[in-house]
Structure 1
Amino acid sequence: MKGLIISNRANEKRQTYRTISRLIAEQIRKGHYQPGDRLPTHRRLAEKTGVAIATVSRAYEELSRIGLVSGEVGRGTFVRRTPGPKPIDAIRTPQVSTRIDLSINQPAVSEMHDNAFKDALERLSDPSAGALRRELARYQPSAGRFDHRQAGAKWLATYGLEVDPEQIVLSSGIQQGLMISVAAAFRPGDVVIVENLTNPSFRSLASLFRLTLVGVPMDEDGIIPESLDRLAQEKGAKGLYTMPSFQNPTGAVMPVERRARIVEIAARRNLVVIENAAYDPYLTVPLPSLYQCLTARAMPAFHISALTKVVMSGVRIAFVVPPAGMLSQVAGAVFATTTVVPPLAAEIASQWIIDGTAQRLTQWQRKEARARHKIVRGSLGDLITPDAKPCNHLWLKVPEPWRADEILSLCRAQGVILSPPEAFVVGRSQAPQAIRLSLGAARDRKSLGSAVDVLAKVLNGAQIPPPAFT
């Protein structure tokens, strides 16, 4: 094995993966490395050059992208016998088609979805729909058209929440629903309790509205009640943001008893609760919503549901149910941000709910989630919580002695993109050694199986000492 002649240059503090990849590419061009030669292991080169393993991984990934090397899990990275045609200096992000990106949490799609979309557009294009098209071409009420709000009430009823359509405000997906709820409920400086691992989008909102987030510990059933009670008192919290069903990223589902305890504490501590119900339709048996229980106690709560996580992410329509006294503030927040929710998307969503398409696509999604969950459990079952319920994301524990960032880098070098734990951590807490897989993001089951196979091989290879480099 030949030595690598970049150690002195790579020790510079300004060293980047681009420079390392260019230096290695230069040595390949000059013949220092011949086709079939093995490059140093990620760990060995990182130690030799004084850079992070992740930096070496990205450098090797770039060399693979431009066709100079190929990686084999468990064996190493080798100079290709027939270099690809791409120029060495074309240091750009690899094309999406060459990767399997499981970092974006979205539902799976199929020909069934394509047909539903086509049918919806054909219906709107029909000559008989001219009056409707002219209506949709005009400004609508900020809370949404009443028939669209009626469809929202029907959607909420599919998983057990009965709401008057007058109490619903439409939004452009869950994220805007969260934004308008936060705008109505809190003020800069307010303390809001969230799960100590939470979706990054809410952290972004908290920063935008200058809220102080406090992470509350969880167990396999979600928020730990005693910790919530203590933090609410100690921090003078104004609110609680939570995802009781299929929590993102852990997948935890609060059982009935846990929900009752959270409601009791929230009521006693006067917390305004924002309940993200994006994944509730995955429940095979509906569970009582926090909104429902708190409203029965005359306590303020928001409930947000959408089609984006269970039907189709491109149809960005959500239904926000605010406290009775905050409806005008929430509708006003829609006006202040987007004036109205796009009427065309709202019409498609409503049409699907009324004619049953949304429910059929949800049933398909549940079935597909079970199948994809089974694929992952078949290879990585030991890393999954035993009672994890199928939805479109899974939380995998990284086995010792490895770290999540090392596994992420090795998978990335093989074209599989996963979500790092740091993306979900609240405050300065230490990130757990775990990885989130977004199962619905894979194009199909075969693609997911390929990604899981890469991850399994990386994890299995991680138990084998890296080959010596001389």
Structure 2
Amino acid sequence: MTISIFDLQNIAARPGPRYRAIADQLRDAIRAGTVAPGTRLPPLRDLAHELGVTVGTVSRAYALAASRGEVSGEVGRGTYVLGLGSAAQTGTGVGSAAFLTMPEATEAAMKAALAPPAGQTEIANAAMAALLAELPGRDGPSPFNTYLVPGGEEQHRRAAAHWLSFDDFTPQPGGILICSGTQQAILTSILAATEPGDLILTEELTYHAMVQQAGQMGRRVAPVDIDEEGMIPQALERALREQKPAAIFIVPTLQNPTGAIMSEGRRRKIAELAIAHDVSIIEDDIYGVLATDRPSPIAQFAPDHTWYATSLAKSVGCGLRIGFLIPPSRLLERARAIQNGFGQTVPPLMAELASRLIETGDAATLCERIRSEMAARHEMTAKALGTERVTAHPAALYAWVELPDTWRAHGFVEAARTRGVAIAAGEDFMVGRADRASRHVRLAIGQPQTRDELARGLAVVTSLLSESHIGIVEPA
């Protein structure tokens, strides 16, 4: 059944952008029980005509409702109400597996921020063969016959300390926890630093999975304004004063999705604010080692308030699933207990392999190859799209592309999908608002397996940028 529960007068009376008013009225109707789960919403063009707005406005409203986990759309079937809280229950919404899934990407997949192929298979194969050959003569249990202690063994933490150290930032092995990737490190930080109902501040465009993790754990997330460096200290100070958050989540180096690198002066200011307001910082530095010009992490300036999280996923290979977390020292055992309680100990064989790659220098070799490949791919991107539309750092795994006035992000993404190219809309990274994000898309130029695949994807994007808005493919 298709119904319309939208009231033009109600929408017009709401403050803010019209697309948000439409999405908010839908949420109110779901909460009031006026519209039940399974209800089919009007097609985009029908509702646009009914309300006297553009198809793009309705598309943005439906996209916002989808990011909240309240509706789900499927080409050929329509958009259906899921109900409140469905994001956590069904996996839909921002941060879900659907974000990475794009089987229609026949020409190029440029949606997931993955490192490009750089010889990972060959190097890992040789390292694993050497590791397995050594096991029969080693003392102690085999990694096939034991679990790691929560946080990792001493040798794994020593290797991690070596990998993480640069300039004046010299973590000690005893303060590091080995994790199953950065996502586990972030989740552990959220659980240890906050309580259900607490508020986490983050950049207005941010890592989508963190938003989902926070929501599933009963935490709230609110945006802070950003500029070309990332989070703006003045906006953060105002939010700290007015909203009383428990934590700040931030990606200061190669910020996702914009690629910004925050200056050291700004990092110091944010550290000072966190200390003054006694608020935890969850610092996601997963891309940090890729940037040779990165400043010291915020953890260097506020070690007693910062949860520093990173991994080998973006700089060596995502298949390792090895991450590192440095909690405030007083909370180290709390973090270890949370990791153990959730059954998230690291597979011993992966910890052994990661340590070997670091100790032999193979990890550094792969990281340098990835940097070099990304620099070449950014040159390809700039040549194809023009530098005036692209914001990017040569080490970032993605480029942030501004769209012309004739496009909005979700329409552009859908048009690219129909031509076999998967990319991410700016709204996929929004927190609370999409005003700026609706005019941008993120191209994960590290994901294509070859430069030829990247070239095909860029050719489609370039062609679309020169076209007028052709609309969105709507359900029949």
Using structure 2 for the length normalisation, give the TM-score.
0.76
Aligned to 2:299: 291
Partner Cα separation in structure 1 for residue 123 and residue 389 of structure 2: 34
- SS of equivalent to 1:226: helix
Greater Rg, structure 1 or structure 2?
1
Is 1:263–2:268 an aligned residue pair?
no
SS in 2 for 1:249: coil
Asked if 1:219 is matched to 2:256, the reply is: no
Q: Deviations over 1:392-435 (max 9, x none)?
A: 01111111021112211111011001112222111245443110
Counterpart in the other structure of 1:209:
217
Q: Is 1:458 the counterpart of 2:470 in the alignment?
A: no
Q: Is the 8 A contact 2:107 2:457 kept in 1?
A: no
CA offset at residue 338 of structure 1? Answer: 2.4
Q: Partner of 1:123 in structure 2? A: 130
**Contact 1:105–1:440 (CA<8 Å) still a contact in 2?**
yes
Q: Which runs of 4+ in 1 moved over 6 A?
A: 48-57
Q: 1:139 to 1:388 in 2, by over 3 A?
A: closer
Letter in 2 for 1:123: A
Give the unaligned 5+ runs of structure 1. Answer: 1-11, 15-44, 60-92, 466-470
- The match for 1:303 is 308
Q: 319, 329, 332: which is aligned to 2:334?
A: 329
Q: Determine which of 177, 181, 199 is the counterpart of 2:185.
A: 177
Once the two structures are superposed, the pairs formed by residues 430-441 of structure 1 within 5 Å of their partners are: 430=435, 431-441=437-447
Q: Would you say the 8 A contact 1:301–1:322 is kept in 2? A: yes
C-alpha RMSD of matched pairs (Å): 2.9
Conservation of the 8 A alpha-carbon contact between 2:392 and 2:400: no
Question: Hey, what's the Cα distance between the residues in 1 that align with 2:176 and 2:423?
Answer: 35
Which has the higher mean CA deviation after the structures are superposed, 279-288 or 120-129? Answer: 120-129
Q: Are residues 268 and 96 of structure 1, via their aligned partners in 2, closer, same or farther at CA, if it must alter by over 3 Å?
A: same
* Aligned equivalents of 2:332, 2:470: Cα separation in 1: 59
Q: Tell me the equivalent position of 2:357.
A: 352
Counterpart contact for 1:143–1:169, Cα < 8 Å: yes
Q: Is the 8 A contact 2:199 2:221 kept in 1?
A: yes
Structure 1 segment 4-15 matched on structure 2, within 5 A:
13=2
Structure 1 match to 2:37: none
Which amino acid in structure 2 is aligned with residue 269 of structure 1?
Answer: H
Q: Is the 8 A contact 1:383 1:399 kept in 2?
A: no
Q: Does residue 202 of structure 2 align to residue 194 of structure 1?
A: yes
Q: Which of the residues 75, 86, 108 maps onto 1:100?
A: 108
Partner of 1:394: 399
Deviations 1:258-305 (A, max 9, x none): 11221222222211111101011111134111001112xxx3211112
1:10-409 residue pairs with structure 2 within 5 A? 13=2, 58=75, 95=103, 98-110=106-118, 112-126=119-133, 129-131=136-138, 134-136=141-143, 137-158=145-166, 161-295=169-303, 299-385=304-390, 388-409=393-414
For the Cα contact (< 8 Å) 1:159–1:286, is it kept in 2?
no
Q: Is the 8 A contact 1:418 1:435 kept in 2?
A: yes
Deviation at 1:161, TM superposition (A): 2.4
Q: Distance in 1 between matches of 2:300 and 2:423?
A: 35
Task: Label 1:236 to 1:358 Cα distance change in 2 as closer, same or farther (>3 A).
Answer: same
Q: Could you tell me how far apart the structure 2 residues matched to 1:370 and 1:445 are? A: 12
Report the CA distance shift for 1:171/1:367 in structure 2 as closer, same or farther (over 3 A).
Answer: same
Distance apart, 1:125 and its partner CA: 2.4
CA distance in structure 1 between the partners assigned to 2:444 and 2:283 by the alignment: 21
For 1:448, which of 448, 454, 474 is the aligned residue? 454
**Aligned residue pairs: how many?**
390
Return 356-365 or 404-413, whichever deviates more.
404-413
> Whole-Å Cα distance in 2 between the matches of residues 197 and 385 of structure 1?
17
With structure 1 as the length reference, what TM-score do the two structures score?
A: 0.77
Distance change in 2, residues 1:447/1:160 (3 Å): farther
| Structure 1 pair 460–132 and aligned structure 2 pair: CA distance change class (3 A) | farther
Change in 2 beyond 3 A, CA 1:339/1:424: closer
Report if the CA contact (8 A) 1:245-1:280 is conserved: yes
Instruction: State the distance in 2 between where 1:247 and 1:285 align.
Output: 14
> Relative to structure 1, is the Cα distance of residues 346 and 463 closer, same or farther in structure 2, using a 3 angstrom cutoff?
same
Give the secondary-structure state (helix, strand or coil) at the position aligned to 1:441.
coil
SS of the counterpart of 2:248? strand
Aligned-pair CA distance for 1:384 = 3.8
- Give the percent of matched residue pairs that are identical in Structure 1 and Structure 2: 28
